[in-house]
Structure 1
Amino acid sequence: MKLLHTADWHIGRTLNGYSLLDEQENAFEQILDIAKEEHVDGIVIAGDIYDRAIPSTSAVTALDRMLKSINLDNHIPIYAISGNHDGAKRLNFGNEWMEESNFYLNTLLEESFKPIETEDAQIFMLPFFDPMDARVYYQKQGMDEDQVKSIRGIGEAMGLVISDMIKSFDPNKKHLLITHFTVAPSSEEEVELTSETTSKVGGLATLTINTFKDFDYVMLGHIHTRFASPSENIRYPGSPVKFNVKEAKIRTHGKGVDIVQISDSQITHTFKEISPKTDLQVIEEPWDTLTDPKFYKAQPIDKDWFAITVKDFDRSKHINVRAKLQEIYGTVVELDYENLKREQAQNTKQANLSELSPDTIVDQFFKTITGKDLSDEQKQLVDSIFVDLGKED
């Protein structure tokens, strides 16, 4: 059995106001070509299919065309789940009739316990969920109220879910899992959250590989680089498109998909690279260098997008910097100044708020005002609020 593993399409994403839809369409066409060339038995989309819970009309139209092309035009099965960016209930609409064409889509926790059965494997599809979803589900299953209340973090919730999945294991088949979470090698190690939120709130908190030790292979989504994969059999394929400057700076992180080959004796993966239609170039140079023809004529001007940081720029100069740079380079999606960054760093004693999780920011603010740390009950309340807010993003 051979599967193509992809994730984090984020259809409808923008980069500082610039639509990435053309880039996403181009990446999709390459993914479909790879699937056909490899003669895969299915395409796995491990969450964050859309970028927002309520996607734009153009995003819905684009994804509809992509899924039809895979499933109806080319008759390739789809195994997809929702991620934390997706609107689970909206995405779930119509999934019952989809299965008639081998389009499997799980967006709700209760759907994850029945595996998709193939000749070689059982495929369990676990969408993103938060501890509250687990509480509601297990309460409906008749769990004792005290046990339900003990499900506070994603660790406890995931432990229960996995233990119930194991009950359905067929010992004569491989056991595969598709899910959408941050997974680290161990609790002491942090996962690089390239292009994704650093939040540790609710279901976004880090799990470890030990949680999934009973599965033969785990196909993850959520982290946008394959180099964050915590082990050889628990892997992220990375997003198919660069979504921000941070990703663009890491030149070794080529975008692509994994081809997963399942046999009786082993499961292997091979990375297949995707070439960007419009690449994102990051340049950090002094103004004189940026405006020197010898320098900028060596750049892919009017072809790629540019994120430019001007070093040591004298802001007292009366010049429209963006207009001048766009005249030279074409599309400048981000403009910054190194000396301004340095001033901001010198004027603040606290960590950059963008690098802190929302619950940490609230905790710090509370302590600044009251002189006390949040209580456990208050932390749980804050956690629940941000989980709910995350569903609206």
Structure 2
Amino acid sequence: MKFLHTADWHIGKELGAFSLLSEQWQAFRQMVTIAEDEAVDGIIIAGDLYDRGIPPLSAVEAFEDMARIMNLEHHWPIYAVSGNHDGAVRLGAGREWRETTSFYLHTTLAEAFEPVELADMQIFMLPFLDPLDARIYYQMSEEEGRDYTSIEAVLAKIIPDLVAKFNPGKRHILVTHYNVVGTGNVNYELTSETNSQVGGLKGVPASLFADFDYVALGHIHLRQASPTDTIRYAGSPVKFNTKEAQSEKGVYIVEIDDHVSLKWRRIHPIKDLIVVKGTFAEITAPAYFEQYARNGANWFSISLTDFPDVRNARGILTKIYGDVVEVNYIGQNEQLGDVVQSELVDGTLSDQEIISNFYETVTEKPLSEEQVQLVETILNEVGRGE
């Protein structure tokens, strides 16, 4: 069988102050063309369908239209899970009628133990979980639950229970959404999505998933972060921040018969994200900026290596380049010393990182392990309250 593996659509996300919905539609249309060309048997979406737990109406309408095109017009089965950015309860509504058209969207741990049974394959779908959800599912006492406060500990319990559901005569696929660490990405500089927003900052070892023939991952936005040859991140189909600006976006075509074979199919951005760096004089010189298609053709992240003695530097840069998503000042100032300032936070930092960075700035020391646990507990409570 042949599947298209994608993830991290983040429908509704903005790049700075700019909506990405048009670019997300462009990427989706290319994805549909790829799926047609490859004659796939199904679509895997490994989490983070939306960018927030309560997405705007425009995002909901866009995803519903995309799902309709894939599932009802092209009749592709969809195998999807909720990610850490999704509102699992809301996303899980309507499961019964969706599955009548082979649209499988799992948002709870209980559903993870109900694989989709195909003729020669079982497809397990494990959504991103708060460790508390696992403790409740397993009906742990307070004392038992103390050993299951991290994602790694919880998955170490869940995965063997999934494997126990294996039909030995079939192949086994897992669709899930976590930071998984293996030999392939041990030295790779990942995006900020490395840090999950709830349930622990550390990655889980790829060895936990060794019994599966293929693991379709979401959560990290770059395919280069894939931990092993058969445990893969498809990455996001659209560039969401400057850390991804130089990366190639696309989807994996996964063919599973006697063995697993992968083909990477690129998605070409209609409007790209370009990082510009230099002194104000350098990047405002026509000989420099005329090399780029500007004024709406691309987005620009600008890093200035000096502090220009001009009024409204950002306004000047916007007039030259058009869609400027952020302006960073990187350099030295007599009063400030070595600094990095940004006129815009682009939303790539997790809640833990924001709190940790603030604490370290104020106290000049990092959070202790106990403080990290306290922050995670509070964020878990806040997340459940949403």
TM-score (norm 2): 0.89
In the other structure, the counterpart of 2:254 is: 260
Asked whether the 8 Å contact 1:85–1:390 carries over to 2, the reply is: no
Which sits farther off after the overlay, 305-314 or 126-135? 305-314
Q: Distance in 2 between matches of 1:112 and 1:382?
A: 28
1:146 Cα shift? 3.9
Which of the two has greater helix per residue?
Answer: 1
Q: Deviations over 1:109-156 (max 9, x none)?
A: 1110111111221100000002111100000xxx56643442222222
Whether 2:231 is the aligned partner of 1:234: answer yes
1:346 aligned residue (338, 351, 355): 338
In the other structure, the counterpart of 2:157 is: 160
The 3 A distance-change label for structure 1 pair 242 and 93 is: same
In the other structure, the counterpart of 1:288 is: 281
The 3 A distance-change label for structure 1 pair 187 and 38 is: closer
Whether 2:82 is the aligned partner of 1:87: answer no
Q: Distance in 2 between matches of 1:360 and 1:195?
A: 14
For the residue of structure 1 that corresponds to 2:75, the secondary structure is coil
In the other structure, the counterpart of 1:23 is: 23
The 3 A distance-change label for structure 1 pair 281 and 89 is: same
In the other structure, the counterpart of 2:356 is: 361
Q: Deviations over 1:309-342 (max 9, x none)?
A: 2222333x3x322222222222111112222699
Q: What are the equivalent positions in structure 2 for 1:307-386 lying under 5 Å apart?
A: 307-315=301-309, 317=310, 319-339=311-331, 346=338, 357-358=352-353, 361=356, 380-386=373-379
Q: Deviations over 1:63-104 (max 9, x none)?
A: 110000000111111001000000000000001111110100
Specify the code of the residue in structure 2 equivalent to 1:58.
Answer: S
Q: Deviations over 1:366-393 (max 9, x none)?
A: x959x998675x6544322123445678
Asked whether the 8 Å contact 1:363–1:373 carries over to 2, the reply is: no
Specify the code of the residue in structure 1 equivalent to 2:318.
Answer: Q
Taking only the aligned residue pairs, the percentage that are identical comes to 46
Q: Distance in 1 between matches of 2:203 and 2:166?
A: 25
Whether 2:264 is the aligned partner of 1:271: answer yes
Q: Distance in 1 between matches of 2:36 and 2:380?
A: 39
How many equivalent residue pairs? 378
In the other structure, the counterpart of 1:351 is: none
Specify the code of the residue in structure 2 equivalent to 1:218.
Answer: V
For the residue of structure 2 that corresponds to 1:152, the secondary structure is coil
RMSD (CA atoms): 3.1
Unaligned runs of 5+ in 1: 349-353
Asked whether the 8 Å contact 1:11–1:24 carries over to 2, the reply is: yes
Unaligned runs of 5+ in 2: 341-348
Q: What are the equivalent positions in structure 2 for 1:1-393 lying under 5 Å apart?
A: 1-139=1-139, 146-185=143-182, 189=186, 192-196=189-193, 198-199=195-196, 201-202=198-199, 205-248=202-245, 251=246, 253-263=247-257, 265-302=258-295, 303-315=297-309, 317=310, 319-339=311-331, 346=338, 357-358=352-353, 361=356, 380-390=373-383
Specify the code of the residue in structure 2 equivalent to 1:255.
Answer: K
1:196 Cα shift? 2.1
